[in-house]
Amino acid sequence: MGNTLAVFTTIFGLVINGVGIVFVATQVVLARRQLRDNLALSNKETLRVKRQATVDFYMATQQKVGEWRSVLPGDWDKRKINTFIRRAYRRGGEEKRLTLANYLGYFEALSVAIRADIYDLTVFDSIAGSRIINICENYHNFFLARRKEVGSDLAYRNLEWLAVELRRLRASPGYTHSPLAVDALTEAKTADSGA
């Protein structure tokens, strides 16, 4: 009888321990799932805020950028840009050089913010990606002249980096001009990989 009670108590203890282990394991799985869901929500909110900041910054600076554009040639007109650059480097062209340097400096600063992951590349692509690509192609001669003038090979390197990244983004599989479509593609890839 004493032996039977000991066996019964042992079995009962093992069953209780087993139930406890299953309960703890279930709690760990639920906690991990909750943590993953919270992290996903946090990442989505961070991305939304970054995208909103990108749009807000760009729109807040439109007036000043418009003032520069009113005296500069169009960013797509390489012939007029080359003429403007030649005139800017002639006697009395200091004001033209300063205006152009300020205009391109604005995009250089914006490129730094995108490179530092402060602003969103896909949103910026939708807003002004083509402009940046054309600026880098059409103002390349000015970049070279300005680097000599200021004695630094680093001038406009971030702007050139941004143009390369925009081209890379546009060449990526499934590219679309909409950040929301990029989100859908990313979510589909994540679901396929089982992450």
**What pLDDT sits at residue 31?**
79
Q: Tell me, yes or no, whether 31 and 115 share the same domain.
A: no
| CA separation for the pair 105, 68 (Å, rounded) | 11
Name the band, by pLDDT with cuts 50, 70 and 90, for residue 179. low
On whether the pTM is more than 0.75, the answer is no
Residues 86 and 28 in one domain: no
What residues have CB less than 8 Å from 77, skipping those under 6 apart? Answer: 138
What is the enclosing helix (H) or strand (E) of 179? Answer: helix 179-193
Q: Looking at the structure, tell me whether residues 90 and 160 fall in a common domain.
A: yes
Last residue of a domain, one of 9, 24, 52: 52
CA dist 113 and 79 (Å) reads 30
**Same domain, yes or no: 34 and 66:** no
Statement to judge: residues 77 and 11 lie in one domain: no
- Per the structure, the complete domain to which residue 163 belongs is given by 61-193
pLDDT at 167 over 80: yes
Domain co-membership, 72 together with 102: yes
- What is the pLDDT confidence band of residue 132, given thresholds at 50, 70 and 90? very high
What's the number of domains the chain is made of?
2
In this prediction, residue 1 carries a pLDDT of 62
